[in-house]
Amino acid sequence: MKVWSVAGCLLLSACSTVPVVHVFHSSLDDTQQKILVSQLEQADINYVLNDLPVPVEYTSDNNTVRLNRFPADQNEALLSQLAEVVHVLGYSGLDVQDFNGEYHRFSEGNYGLYFPGDRSQVRLPDVLHSHNCAMDPFKIELNTSGEWSLTGTVTKGQWQYIDPYLTLMWNDGRGAMQQAYQMTSHIVQTRFGEKPALTFEVMGHRSYAALPIFNCDLQVIFAE
């Protein structure tokens, strides 16, 4: 059995008749990941471990694990094996969907298995870049303590995240303001090809004069 660990290969081509399951496991803790690998090995399933975050749209409220497949792939035996794997990890079953071109893309013979995280405790990137913005490019760092800072300046504030909404708060001592953003997970075209990205789109107005960075969307693009 071949096992790989990758960080960003999403447009994949089948190179054999043996199906390969691409497992997005970053939401699982160390113990769960050990159980996962053990179950995959016992079932003799060919798999690839992928550390990219699970798209928000693939996170379900009904305790299921999303499985994407190419429409022509109707491997019921594999689906049964994977259902047993997710049951062992405490999930109720699989949410099987045919690949339709959204978010992560797989070719025939490749499956995407996405373990959902705690929707209230999504792990955000450490750095977000300005996007859709009239200003010069800038970066915002998100500290795990709940503080954000504008890179290269003394500007900073507090942040909070309640899936899928990010809120940045700022107070200069004379008054407070905040901006809310909605996060989406998608694929973007870069000069290096298609890459997965998270975009945080402004939900409020775009007319902050005191803190114009609040007028811009934020984005991170994941490289391979």
Distance CA 211, CA 198 (A): 23
User: In terms of Cα–Cα distance, which of 211, 190, 193, 189 is closest to 202?
Assistant: 211
Q: Would the CA dihedral through 159, 160, 166, 167 be positive or negative?
A: negative
- The yes/no answer on whether domain 127-221 falls in CATH 2.40.128 is yes
Assess contact for 4 and 37: CB atoms under 8 A: no
Domain 3-114 fold is Alpha-Beta Plaits (3.30.70)
| Per-residue model confidence (pLDDT) at position 73 | 86
SS3 136: coil
| Per-residue model confidence (pLDDT) at position 21 | 95
Query: Digits of tens for pLDDT over the chain (224 positions)?
Result: 545 444 444 444 444 478 999 999 988 888 888 889 999 999 999 999 988 777 767 766 568 899 999 888 889 999 999 999 998 888 888 999 887 666 666 778 899 999 986 544 556 889 999 999 999 999 999 988 789 999 999 999 999 887 788 899 998 888 889 999 999 888 888 888 888 889 999 998 999 999 999 999 999 998 75
Which residues, in sequence order, are bridge partners of residue 106? 12
What residue segments make up the domains of the chain, in order of their start?
3-114, 127-221
| Per-residue model confidence (pLDDT) at position 122 | 54
Which residues, in sequence order, are bridge partners of residue 141? 127, 149
Assess contact for 73 and 108: CB atoms under 8 A: yes
Which residues, in sequence order, are bridge partners of residue 131? 217
